[in-house]
Chain A
Amino acid sequence: MTGRVPLFEAEGIVMRFGGVVALRKVSVTQFEGETLGMIGPNGSGKTTFVNVVTGHLAPQEGRVRVAGAEVTGFRPHRMAAAGITRTYQAVRVFRELTVADNIATATVDAPNRMDADEIAATLDWLQLGHRLAVPAGSLTLFEQRRLEILMRLVQRARLIMLDEPVGGLSATEVRAMLQVLGDLRRRTGLFVIEHAMKVIRELADSVVVMLAGEKLMQGTPAEILADKRVVDQYLGRAHA
């Protein structure tokens, strides 16, 4: 582990909503060049964790550091400036704006944005070049998912936190998306929340298992799949 540079460190995060504790002392570190997966049943705190790291929620306790700098409680636009960004469980683009305007909006306040050539190359790679003049809301779901990724890439995000990136896609599209994500992780840091174990197995170097707001364990996909607690608590049901 030594010598590796942490991309972000979340330390002892506690997040309460009224009397409900959504996260109890959760600590997760993601290193440069590593793809981290997060699994857990509904309500186990996965999305809340992403909300804390990306600045949507300020935790009651704990710290978040990005590349060693303290960013706890930063609002999302400052997290974005620090290179930490996310996608949403339900696809989220500016539906009334064209694809070109969506991209332009993503670069308007991105200090480290790509130049025109790089954007064109990335458009090509995500096969959205022919859709520039189309309102984003008219794209297929799979295209919208790719546009979401594109909008983070043009900002040169250091870490993209993907909340169920294959949700709602057909089996063929899931395969295509897995290829996209496989390439994507060579371009930027990825953190993937996913129910589909297939996705986690293929992408994640290390997996955090959440249960009832706590980090149950962390390990390689093989390790967590071999763990009896994980199989009982989560996979047992999901794979039944």
Chain B
Amino acid sequence: MTDALRKHGRGLLVFAVAAYALPLLLAGNRYFAFIGGIALLHVVWTAGMSLLYGYAGLMPLMFAGIAGISAYAAVGLMAAGFAFWTALPVAALFAALVGVGLGLPALRLKGFYFTLCSLVIQTVITLAFVYFVNLTNGDTGISQIAPPAWFGGPLQGVGFDLVLATLAVGAMVALVLIVEAPFGRRLVAVREDDELAEMLGIDVVRQKLAAFFVGSLFAAVGGAFYAPYVGFVSPRSFDVLLSLNIWLMVAFGGRGTIWGAVVGTVLLAPLPFLLQDYYKVKDVIYGLLIIGVIVLLPGGILGGLGSRAAAGTGTQSPGLRRKEAA
């Protein structure tokens, strides 16, 4: 555990300083500070996606759906009178367990087939958000979500941004500890060749379920904080495009590397806001980026540089691409 922190200590320190500096530097402009906060929130998500996609080799397109379930659950609990800090663990745990359930197809399906299945699951979740109007207020969504209480007052502004910075740092520390632990090695083994991993004594079913629980927990915690931070949730907030964006951030930055997810998030998370006036161009840019990553940078920015030192366990894997094609 301490070895892992020592190995990635400098990176974590740099990231922590940057994460805390960001809200403070942008404090003068609430809009830019909000974009910064959203980026920090996305770090939590990409850390979870990194675990599932980069290390376990599964591309879960229902990732946003799990975040959404947690967000709606948190909002629902808050509406029922619970404090945010009570609603958060309950909603996150609930959504993570749902994530394990939704991950069950991964026990049978690999690569492309699992991705397709997860796309269907995401679609069903989005339809459920629209359909169960009693719980979700349907397409209209739920607005004016109250901010969490914080030392007697509402948590908002720079204060909330700094909480998100803490969350992002916590997510990265957790990712480092998980990936450097035996669990991380088992996941890489499952990604590379699950039958061989099983033969070598690794309980593949258990590892996959554990990966889904932990990965979904990241999605869920991010989702629960998203609701009060943005103040508005709707089915569109957690649709397949969010899953794809989070995936793209991991793939773009460098899957199977610790810091690739952060690099991808920093570059891509602010994009929708900066391009808000050109929303039609935005989708084209995303499309081009996806194609560009797949064709030109299959290992992502960090992986593409062939930087094994930067590549977490040194197991950044071009093999992923081949396996998904198969």
The chain A residues found within 8 Å of chain B, CB to CB, are 54, 56, 75-77, 80-81, 85-86, 92-98, 101, 104-106, 108-110, 151, 155
Contacts of B182 in A (CB 8 A): 108-109
Interface size on B, residues (CB 8 A): 24
Distance of A98 Cα from B313 Cα, bound (Å): 11
Contacts of A101 in B (CB 8 A): 185, 188, 313-315
Q: Does B153 contact A (CB under 8 A)?
A: no
**Do B202 and A108 touch (CB < 8 A)?**
yes
Distance of A54 Cα from B198 Cα, bound (Å): 11
User: B198: which of A76, A104, A108, A151 is its contact (CB, 8 Å)?
Assistant: A76
Within 200-222 of B, Cβ neighbours of A (below 8 Å) are at 200-205
User: A94: which of B192, B201, B203, B314 is its contact (CB, 8 Å)?
Assistant: B192
B238 to chain A, nearest CB (A): 33
Contacts of B188 in A (CB 8 A): 94, 97, 101, 105
A218 to chain B, nearest CB (A): 26
**Do B315 and A96 touch (CB < 8 A)?**
yes
B interface SS class: helix
Of A101, A108, A110, the most chain B CB neighbours within 10 A belong to A108
Q: Does B193 contact A (CB under 8 A)?
A: yes
Contacts of A56 in B (CB 8 A): 195
**Do A80 and B200 touch (CB < 8 A)?**
yes
Contacts of B319 in A (CB 8 A): 95-96
Distance of A151 Cα from B314 Cα, bound (Å): 19
User: A80: which of B189, B199, B313, B314 is its contact (CB, 8 Å)?
Assistant: B199
Q: Does B237 contact A (CB under 8 A)?
A: no
**Do A110 and B201 touch (CB < 8 A)?**
yes
Contacts of B289 in A (CB 8 A): none
User: A108: which of B186, B192, B196, B317 is its contact (CB, 8 Å)?
Assistant: B186
Q: Does B318 contact A (CB under 8 A)?
A: yes
User: A105: which of B195, B197, B317 is its contact (CB, 8 Å)?
Assistant: B197
B46 to chain A, nearest CB (A): 22
User: A86: which of B185, B199, B314 is its contact (CB, 8 Å)?
Assistant: B199
**Do B315 and A77 touch (CB < 8 A)?**
no
Contacts of A98 in B (CB 8 A): 314
Of A93, A97, A110, the most chain B CB neighbours within 10 A belong to A97
**Do B315 and A97 touch (CB < 8 A)?**
yes
B202 to chain A, nearest CB (A): 5
User: B189: which of A54, A75, A81, A108 is its contact (CB, 8 Å)?
Assistant: A108
Contacts of B199 in A (CB 8 A): 54, 76-77, 80, 85-86
**Do B203 and A109 touch (CB < 8 A)?**
yes
